[in-house]
Amino acid sequence: MPEFGRVSPTIPVADLDRALQFYCGVLGFAVRFTNGDPVSFAVIEQGEAQLHLCVKPAAAGTSHNHVLVDDLDGVYVRLQQAGIAVQQPPKIQPWGLRDLVVADPDGNTFEVAEPVSVPGLPLGGGT
């Protein structure tokens, strides 16, 4: 059976510059590729995570994604310092992850999580 590699979800946004301010300025992603005239598509990366931002105003805010990090507290501090409202502060979940929920400027939501030890489960709940 083939093994899957990196997954790169497409995030629909209304305003690419505003989205890049959030993803790059707040979360530390870097732009790796852009396309269009005017630019309406960008590939951004941070660590192993890659996102495709695509200008689709009618669909903006409809995406929900889950991403693992190695320092949830660091992400939380960056969000707070930038004045970003966090929908759910860091919380230990029974499935072995500690996560927070945040929305980008268009309303696309992200569960940002790190594995934690939960009695009876392997680290990270085996995910």
Which tokens go with 68?
């693992």
- Asked if residue 2 belongs to a domain, the reply is no
pLDDT at 124 over 80: no
- Asked if residue 27 belongs to a domain, the reply is yes
Question: Structural domain tally of the chain?
Answer: 1
Instruction: Give the torsion sign (CA, 105, 109, 112, 117).
Output: positive
pLDDT at 6: 85
Question: Which CATH number does the domain housing residue 32 bear?
Answer: 3.10.180.10
pLDDT tier for residue 16 given thresholds of 50, 70 and 90: very high
- Asked if residue 81 belongs to a domain, the reply is yes
3 three-class SS: coil
- Asked if residue 3 belongs to a domain, the reply is no
- Asked if residue 5 belongs to a domain, the reply is no
The parent domain of residue 99 ranges over 10-126
pLDDT at 120 over 90: no
- Asked if residue 48 belongs to a domain, the reply is yes
* Helix spans in the chain (H): 16-20, 72-81
- Asked if residue 1 belongs to a domain, the reply is no
State pLDDT tens for residues 23-62: 999 999 999 999 999 999 999 999 999 999 999 999 999 9
State pLDDT tens for residues 66-98: 999 999 999 999 999 999 999 999 999 999 999
pLDDT tier for residue 5 given thresholds of 50, 70 and 90: confident
Average pLDDT taken over every residue of the chain: 93
Terminal Cα distance for the chain, rounded: 19
